[in-house]
Amino acid sequence: MIASFRAENLKTRKRWANWILIGILLAWILLLTYLTLFLVVTLSPKSIQGPVPASVLKRRLFPENFVPTVLSAAGTIGAAIMLIFGALSTASEFGWLTVQTILIQKPTRVAVMFGKYLAVAAATLLISILVFGAAALASFAAVTFDGSSSSWPAWEVILKGFGALLLQLTIWAAFGAFLGIAFHSTAAAIGGGLTYLFVGEALLGGLLRNTPIVKDVLRFLPGINGDAINAAFPLTIRDSAGQTQLVGAGRGVITLLVYLVVFTVLSLLIFQRRDVGGG
């Protein structure tokens, strides 16, 4: 398994597409979340400002709120990026037929599979650190430029927040990897995954959130459970009416961990049994 992990690591590191995905996620956090909001709040004339004063809105970007802000910003976009990353890591092997090059080396299919998942997990850890670090730096820059003062959250909150981000990004990467193995096609895995994410969970889930039957289904979906975890890290300001969560944070963590196990086991079963090539 270590040999497979080392091989996967080399491939992951040298693949430009992966660095581009990380770049997009960081750009989203730094440019769109922090810089754009900071400029809009700072530069917009008072006449067009909303009911919440700019000085309050701005606090969202300060260190005291960097944990909920990064969790919110990395929510859907982070999920999409990680889903693509996971799908690329597995489905490309079938597209290029490199899966057969791998399988005719020494490791077993189980070792190949776990090596691949370990490499995806290691990359997700790195991405989480980069995203969390970038958000912390951006919040520090925001408060410094503004000349205001803000305190950092407690270490415990920072660690829990990092864990929440890592767990959610890992789930979506695992989901993408699972779809890649199930569909054997990069386009199908990414297309199917993003359709589920944006149309299934975000759009339909949002619109039908208060429908009793749908609500019962939504309680089991990864996005809803991720939102519930994020809600456990409230902002120090109240800029809009918060949404009622369908499940608690604790149940959210357990549900996501169950998803992680399910995606991994299903991927392994499919990968272990399926013929490679021919037919």
Partner 1 sequence: MALAQTLAVETRGLTKRYSTGVLAVNNLDLRVRAGEVYGFLGPNGAGKTTTLRLLSGLLHPTSGTAVVAGAAPGSPASLARMGAMVETPAFYPYLSGRDNLRVVARYASVPKSRIEPVLKLVDLTDRARHKFKTYSTGMKQRLGVAAALLKAPDLLILDEPTSGLDPQGTIEMRALIKELKQGGRTVLLSSHLLNEVELTCDRVGVIAKGQLVAEGTVDELRARSGGSALLIRATPLDQARRLVEALVKPEQVRVEGETLLLSVDPSQAASINRRLVSDGVDVSELRVSEQSLEAVFLELTETSQK
Residues that bind partner 1 (CB under 8 A): 3-4, 6-7, 10-11, 14-17, 96-98, 100-108, 112, 273, 275-279
Q: What distance in Å separates the CA atoms of residue 255 and residue 84, rounded to the nearest whole number?
A: 22
What separation, in Å, do the N-terminal and C-terminal C-alpha atoms of the chain show? 29
Closer residue to partner 1 in complex, CB, 95/248: 95
Query: In sequence order, which residues have a C-beta less than 8 Å from that of residue 17 and are 6 or more positions away?
Result: 88
Minimum distance from CB of 102 to partner 1 (Å)? 6
Handedness of CA 215, 221, 223, 224 (dihedral sign): positive
Minimum distance from CB of 12 to partner 1 (Å)? 11
Angle among Cα 15, 102, 95 to the nearest 5 degrees reads 60
Closer residue to partner 1 in complex, CB, 212/279: 279
The burial of 208, by beta-carbon neighbours within 10 Å (0-12 exposed, 13-18 middle, 19 or more buried), is given as: middle
Closer residue to partner 1 in complex, CB, 71/99: 99
Closer residue to partner 1 in complex, CB, 104/154: 104
Minimum distance from CB of 37 to partner 1 (Å)? 36
- Crossing angle between the packed helical segments 249-273 and 222-230, to the nearest 10 degrees: 140
Closer residue to partner 1 in complex, CB, 103/141: 103
Cα dihedral angle (223, 112, 23, 199), rounded to 10 degrees? -30
Closer residue to partner 1 in complex, CB, 5/62: 5
Instruction: Give yes or no for a contact between 21 and 85, defined as CB atoms under 8 angstroms apart.
Output: yes
Rounded to the nearest angstrom, the gap between the alpha carbon of residue 188 and the centroid of all alpha carbons in its chain is 20
Minimum distance from CB of 89 to partner 1 (Å)? 12
Minimum distance from CB of 20 to partner 1 (Å)? 12
Closer residue to partner 1 in complex, CB, 16/155: 16
Closer residue to partner 1 in complex, CB, 212/278: 278
The label of the residue with tokens 């080396």 reads: 105
Question: Could you tell me if residue 149 is left (phi over 0), alpha (psi between -120 and 50 degrees) or otherwise beta?
Answer: beta
Minimum distance from CB of 187 to partner 1 (Å)? 16
Minimum distance from CB of 111 to partner 1 (Å)? 9
Minimum distance from CB of 107 to partner 1 (Å)? 6
Q: What distance in Å separates the CA atoms of residue 64 and residue 137, rounded to the nearest whole number?
A: 12
